Amino acid sequence: MSKTMKALVKHHAGPGARLEQVTKPEPQAGEVLVKVSAAAICGTDVHIYKWDEWSAGRIKPPLVFGHEFCGHVVELGPGVDDIATGTRVTAEGHFVCNVCEFCRTGRGHICRDVEIIGVDTAGCFAEYVRVPRSNIWVLDDDVPDNVAAIHDPYGNAVHSVLIDDIVGKTALVTGCGPIGLASIAIAKLAGATRIYASDINPYRLDLATKMGADVVFNVTEEEMVSTVLAETDNLGVDVLLEMSGHPTAINDGLRALKNGGWVSLLGITPDKKVSVDLNDGVIFKGASVYGINGRLMYKTWYQMQALLRAGLDLTPMITHNFIMDEFEQAFELAASGNSGKIILYP
């Protein structure tokens, strides 16, 4: 077998990336080697590709990037004997230490020493990727490759939506990127009664409707808060799923929240600091706010599997397919915002 493979490499500390022949990874003790069938582009990958301030501070080139994928197990590292080669899998991309206080109390998603695949270790925009066996998730046969490849953001959405009671509740999803879009379908299937969604991009709002949103707001053109209040007896929505990280969306979302409601904050604010009216937005409302980081290991994964088995359809949000050689085109499209999920085939 060849000792090298084709991979998309962040080759220097600057914009762009290069397709290169690199050394094929070898699974170490407790790891498996996965042959990648499909990968997906995440916002993080676009940051790495463009080389913004965050990537400059975090990424150490040369690095094979990418963290959303599915494939088949092709090699077992020393000590791994409980999974067969040929098994179709995806993986939790946060590799945790298993010994810190958080890991040892069942909260590996906030591990102190987490390493993220495709950020801190070699990623999946490649023919092969090395993954700890304990991070492997075996897929049901009927999950198509494009859905299998987006389990990472799908899991972010499941974690955000199912962290508190959603059954019989009204919800507002601010930000209809891939995670917001998945959240709409998840909330609907899980029993939310009416779902409002907002974005600034008509393409994304169209996808929001396809994913099951009942009412969508283009906040560059329409007043969201007063409409939501008017539709809810002046009470507001029970649940706010904040998936944009935009200060206006956070503030308007809180204004549209019902007393006693709950909030998942998933969107990451570019400037770190956001000014929020905590008094009226959270405290006097008696609201509960959850910070969402990644996916619960592995409670969220069982919920993801259960929702797919119950008929959750994520395919409307998967809008484009490219072969890896067309990566420039794919990243340009991802950066434009005029796409849902983009799949790359090695």
What are the two backbone dihedrals, phi and then psi, of residue 254, each rounded to the nearest 5 degrees? -65, -35
Cis omega before residue 298 (within 30°)?
Answer: yes
Give the side-chain half-sphere CA count within 13 A for 150.
31
Judged by beta carbon distances under 5 to 8 A according to partner kind, the member of ligand NAD, Zn ion, none in contact with residue 305 is: none
Question: In whole angstroms, how close is the CB of 109 to ligand NAD at the nearest point?
Answer: 9
Cα–Cα distance measured from residue 163 to residue 264, given in angstroms and rounded to the nearest whole number: 8
Residues 6+ apart with CB under 8 A from 222: none
Tokens representing 159? 């974690």
- Nearer to ligand NAD by Cβ, of 179 and 237: the residue is 179
- Nearer to ligand NAD by Cβ, of 42 and 80: the residue is 42
What are the two backbone dihedrals, phi and then psi, of residue 138, each rounded to the nearest 5 degrees? -80, 130
Cα–Cα distance measured from residue 272 to residue 19, given in angstroms and rounded to the nearest whole number: 33
- Nearer to Zn ion by Cβ, of 2 and 105: the residue is 105
Q: Side chain identity at 58, as an amino acid letter? A: R
- Per rule CB under 5 A, is residue 97 in the interface with Zn ion? yes
- Per rule CB under 5 A, is residue 111 in the interface with Zn ion? yes
Out of 47, 67, 94, 246, the active site residue is 47
Nearest residue to ligand NAD, by Cβ distance, number only: 177
- Per rule CB under 5 A, is residue 335 in the interface with Zn ion? no
Out of 23, 44, 85, 232, the active site residue is 44
Judged by beta carbon distances under 5 to 8 A according to partner kind, the member of ligand NAD, Zn ion, none in contact with residue 156 is: ligand NAD
Q: Side chain identity at 309, as an amino acid letter? A: R
- Nearer to ligand NAD by Cβ, of 54 and 302: the residue is 54
Which residues of this chain interact with ligand NAD, rule CB under 6 A? 43, 153, 156, 174-180, 198-201, 204, 219, 243-246, 248-249, 266-268, 292-294, 337
Judged by beta carbon distances under 5 to 8 A according to partner kind, the member of ligand NAD, Zn ion, none in contact with residue 241 is: none
- Nearer to Zn ion by Cβ, of 91 and 96: the residue is 96
- 72: annotated active-site residue: no
CA 53 to chain CA mean position, Å = 21
CB under 5 A: which stretch of 28-36, 97-105, 130-138, 282-290 binds Zn ion? 97-105
Give the ranges where the chain is alpha helix by DSSP (H): 43-50, 53-58, 145-148, 151-161, 178-190, 202-210, 225-231, 247-255, 278, 299-309, 327-336
CB under 5 A: which stretch of 96-104, 231-239, 290-298, 338-346 binds Zn ion? 96-104
Instruction: Give strand pairing partners of 73.
Output: 34
Q: Side chain identity at 253, as an amino acid letter? A: G
Judged by beta carbon distances under 5 to 8 A according to partner kind, the member of Zn ion, ligand NAD, none in contact with residue 97 is: Zn ion
Tokens representing 142? 């009927």
- Per rule CB under 5 A, is residue 103 in the interface with Zn ion? yes
Judged by beta carbon distances under 5 to 8 A according to partner kind, the member of Zn ion, ligand NAD, none in contact with residue 266 is: ligand NAD
Strands 257-265 and 288-291, by their bridges, are: parallel
- 47: annotated active-site residue: yes
Secondary structure (3-state) at 198? strand
- Nearer to ligand NAD by Cβ, of 76 and 200: the residue is 200
So which residues are the catalytic ones?
44, 47
Contact residues toward Zn ion (CB under 5 A) are 96-97, 100, 103, 111
